[in-house]
Structure 1
Amino acid sequence: MKLRTALSSPVSRCLAVVAAAGLLASACSSGSNSNSSSGAGGGTLVVGYTADPNTLDPWRATQFQAAHMLEQVYGTLTQLDTNMNVQPGLAASWQYSDDNKTLTLHLRQGVKFQDGQAFSSADVKSSLDRLRDPATAAVAASYIASVQSVDAPDANTAVLHLSTPDAGLLAGLATVNLAMLSKDNTEQQVSQKPNGTGPFSYTTRAPNQSVSLKANPDYWGGKPKVAALQFRIIPDESSVVSAMQSGNVNFAVLNDPTVAKTAQGSGLTLNKTPDLAYHALQLNSRKAPLNNLNVRLAMQCAISRQQVIDTAALGEGTPIGPITSPAFKSDPNSQPCATQDVAKAKTLLSQAGFPNGLTINTIVSTGLYATSVNEAQNLQSQLKAVGITLKLQTLDSAAYVDAWKAGNFTAALALNGGSPDPDGMYGRYFTSTGNLNKVAGYSSPQLDQLFAQGKSTTDPAQRKQIYTQISNNLVDNAAWIWLFSSYDYTAMTKSVSGFTPMPNGSLINLWKTSLG
Structure 2
Amino acid sequence: MARGLHTMFGIMMGRPDRPQRGACAPSPCNRARFRPKKDPLPMWKRTLATLVLSTGLATGLAASVEAQTLRFGLMEDPDALDPTLARTFSGRMVFAALCDKLVDIDAKLNIIPQLATEWSWSPDQKTLTMKIRDGVLFQDGEKLDAEAVKFNLERHLKMQGSQRRGEIAAIDSVEVVDPLTVKINLKTPFAPLLAQFTDRAGMMVSPKAAQALGDKFASAPVCAGPFKFVERVAQDRIVVEKFDNYWNKDNIFLKRIEFKVIPDTTVRLTNLRSGQLDLLERLAPTDLPQVQSDSKLKIGMAYELGYQTLLLNLSKDGPLAKNAKVREALELSIDRDAINQVVFNGEFLPGNQWVNPKNPNYVSAFPIPKRDVAKAKALLKEAGVTTPLVVNFTVFSDNLSQQSAQVIQAMAKEAGFDLKIQATDFGTALNLADQGNYDLMLYNWSGRPDPDGNTYNFLATKAPLNYPRYSNEKADAAFQAERQNNDPEVRKAAWKDLATQVLADRPLIYLYHRKLLWAYSTKLTGFGDYPDGLVRFTGLKLN
Indicate whether the TM-score tops 0.5.
Answer: yes
Distance 1:492 1:456 in 2: 42
CA deviation vs aligned residue, 1:23-55 (integer Å, no higher than 9, x gap):
xxxxxxxxxxxxxxxxx9971111012322232
Q: Which residue of 2 aligns with 1:495?
A: 523
Match of 1:406 among 424, 431, 435: 435
Distance 1:157 1:241 in 2: 46
Distance 2:124 2:201 in 1: 28
Alpha-carbon distance, 1:110 to partner: 0.5
Asked whether 1:87 is paired with 2:112, we answer: yes
Distance 1:332 1:315 in 2: 22
Asked whether 1:240 is paired with 2:240, we answer: no
Q: Which has the larger radius of gyration?
A: 2
Deviates more, 1:266-275 or 1:388-397: 266-275
Distance 1:261 1:306 in 2: 20
1:12-161 equivalent positions in 2, closer than 5 A: 43-97=68-122, 99-133=124-158, 135-161=159-185
Say if 1:257 and 1:313, in contact at 8 Å, map to a contact too: yes
Code of the aligned partner of 1:56: L
Distance 2:314 2:462 in 1: 16
- The higher relative CO (CA closer than 8 Å, separation ≥ 6) is in 1
CA deviation vs aligned residue, 1:99-134 (integer Å, no higher than 9, x gap):
11111111111100000000111111111112112x
Distance 1:246 1:286 in 2: 48
Q: 1:92 to 1:178 in 2, by over 3 A?
A: closer
Asked whether 1:472 is paired with 2:486, we answer: no
Q: Which residue of 2 aligns with 1:259?
A: 287
SS in 2 for 1:271: strand
Q: Which residue of 2 aligns with 1:443?
A: 471
CA deviation vs aligned residue, 1:252-305 (integer Å, no higher than 9, x gap):
112411123322223311122222221111111222322211111111111111
Deviates more, 1:466-475 or 1:106-115: 466-475
Alpha-carbon distance, 1:469 to partner: 2.1
Between Structure 1 and Structure 2, which shows a larger proportion of helix residues? Answer: 2
Distance 1:422 1:218 in 2: 36
Match of 2:514 among 474, 486, 490: 486
Code of the aligned partner of 2:448: S
Say if 2:107 and 2:530, in contact at 8 Å, map to a contact too: yes
Code of the aligned partner of 2:366: S
Say if 2:312 and 2:440, in contact at 8 Å, map to a contact too: yes
Match of 1:321 among 338, 352, 355: 352
Q: Which residue of 1 aligns with 2:459?
A: 430
Say if 2:227 and 2:241, in contact at 8 Å, map to a contact too: yes
SS in 1 for 2:97: coil
Unaligned runs of 5+ residues in structure 2 are 1-64
Say if 2:300 and 2:518, in contact at 8 Å, map to a contact too: yes
Cα RMSD after superposing both structures: 2.0
Match of 2:482 among 454, 459, 470: 454
Distance 1:49 1:360 in 2: 31
Asked whether 1:357 is paired with 2:381, we answer: no
Say if 1:140 and 1:428, in contact at 8 Å, map to a contact too: no
Match of 1:226 among 254, 267, 273: 254
Say if 2:103 and 2:202, in contact at 8 Å, map to a contact too: no
Say if 1:284 and 1:291, in contact at 8 Å, map to a contact too: no
TM superposition score normalised by structure 1:
0.87
Code of the aligned partner of 2:362: S
Distance 1:297 1:386 in 2: 11
CA deviation vs aligned residue, 1:181-240 (integer Å, no higher than 9, x gap):
222213334211110001111112222221111112222233312111111223412122
SS in 2 for 1:374: helix
CA deviation vs aligned residue, 1:392-448 (integer Å, no higher than 9, x gap):
1100222122212333211100111111211111111111141212x1331201011
Alpha-carbon distance, 1:456 to partner: 0.8
Code of the aligned partner of 2:243: N
Distance 1:255 1:170 in 2: 31
Match of 2:325 among 268, 273, 294: 294
Q: 1:371 to 1:347 in 2, by over 3 A?
A: same
CA deviation vs aligned residue, 1:55-98 (integer Å, no higher than 9, x gap):
22122222221221122101211111111111112111111115
TM superposition score normalised by structure 2:
0.83
Say if 1:319 and 1:332, in contact at 8 Å, map to a contact too: no
Distance 1:129 1:454 in 2: 24
Distance 2:383 2:391 in 1: 14
Distance 1:234 1:199 in 2: 24
Aligned residues: 471
Code of the aligned partner of 2:187: S
Distance 2:418 2:283 in 1: 27
Say if 2:324 and 2:504, in contact at 8 Å, map to a contact too: no
